[in-house]
Amino acid sequence: MSSRPSASRTQDTGVTLVELIVYVAVSALFAGLMASLFIAGLHSQSQTRDRDIATGKAQVVTDMLQASIRNADAVHVDGGALVAHVATGTTGWECRGWALTGAGALVYKHGPGLLGAVDSTWRPLIDPAGTQVGSASVTVEGGGGPFTVTGAQVGYRFTVTAGTAAIPITGTVTAQAKADGTVGSCW
């Protein structure tokens, strides 16, 4: 018996340079694939977040406009501002106003009488300079303002943008409340 190892046994004792290169290439390919999937996931998550923010803000504003105008006995548009004389149900009547600012914010104010000019007392509903998570802006495509009034019917059109997502909003609603005679106190 010979104490010498067989030729086939000595060849299996290590990793050759070619095998090492193949392992490194396969590992690099796998790492690159995983990195590209991770980056695509982050991009997709960012787009989804932007769309959800824009859609959510647009839905809140649309619901508020629809409910307020439906409960109004009269509406008035002055420039980019819409003012409505709204029946509250519990406290009687109040004036509610919405306006689009030059900075791309949609602001809101309510009170028992004349609301006055758009200033810092108007609360932002959609604010591009907002510090809260999910700031968005509002724009109106084409000419004209975001609101139009024909008789008791109010039309609205604007686009809510958050990040890369732009959600166009258009609609109409009719003021349906019975007049109480104090409309002039809002404008």
Residue 10 counted as domain residue: no
Q: What is the DSSP letter of 113?
A: S
**Within its chain, how far is the Cα of 47 from the centroid?**
11
Residue type at 45 in one-letter notation:
Q
pLDDT (tens digit, 9 = 90+) per residue, 14-38? 889 999 999 999 999 999 999 999 9
How many domains does the chain contain in total? Answer: 1
Please give the Cα distance from 178 to 115 (Å, whole number).
Answer: 22
Residue 24 counted as domain residue: no
Tokens representing residue 2 in the block: 């010979």
Residue 116 counted as domain residue: yes
For residue 187, the model assigns a pLDDT of 79
pLDDT (tens digit, 9 = 90+) per residue, 97-141? 999 888 888 899 999 888 888 898 999 888 887 655 567 888 887
Give the domain extent around 84.
40-180
Residue 70 counted as domain residue: yes
Residue 54 counted as domain residue: yes
Residue 106 counted as domain residue: yes
Count CA atoms closer than 13 A to 135's CA, side-chain side: 10
| Cα→Cα distances 160→67, 107, 165, 170, Å | 19, 13, 8, 11
- The helix (H) or strand (E) run that includes residue 134 is none
pTM of the model: 0.76
Residue 19 counted as domain residue: no
Residue 2 counted as domain residue: no
For residue 104, the model assigns a pLDDT of 85
For residue 178, the model assigns a pLDDT of 83
